Amino acid sequence: MKEEEQEGVGRRRRRRRSKKKKKKKKKKKKKKKKKKKKKKKKKEKEKKKKLKVYSEGRENRAQVHFISVQRESARPDIWST
Alpha carbons 39 and 41: distance in angstroms, whole number: 5
d(CA 69, CA 75): 10
Does 65 fall in a domain? yes
Q: Does residue 7 fall inside a structural domain?
A: no
The CA distances from residue 78 to 14, 39, 75, in Å, are: 97, 61, 9
Full residue range of the structural domain in which residue 52 is found: 47-74
51 inside domain? yes
For residue 63, tell me if it sits in a domain: yes
Task: Report pLDDT for 1.
Answer: 47
**Is 28 domain-assigned?**
no
Domain count, the chain: 1
Q: How confident is the model at residue 74, as a pLDDT?
A: 64
Separation between Cα atoms, residue 44 and residue 9, nearest integer Å: 54
pLDDT for position 68: 74
Q: pTM score, two decimals? A: 0.41
pLDDT string in tens for the chain (81-residue length): 455 555 555 566 777 879 899 999 999 999 999 999 999 999 999 988 888 877 777 777 777 777 777 776 666 666 665
Torsions phi, psi for 9 (to 5 deg): -65, -40
Model pLDDT, residue 52: 80
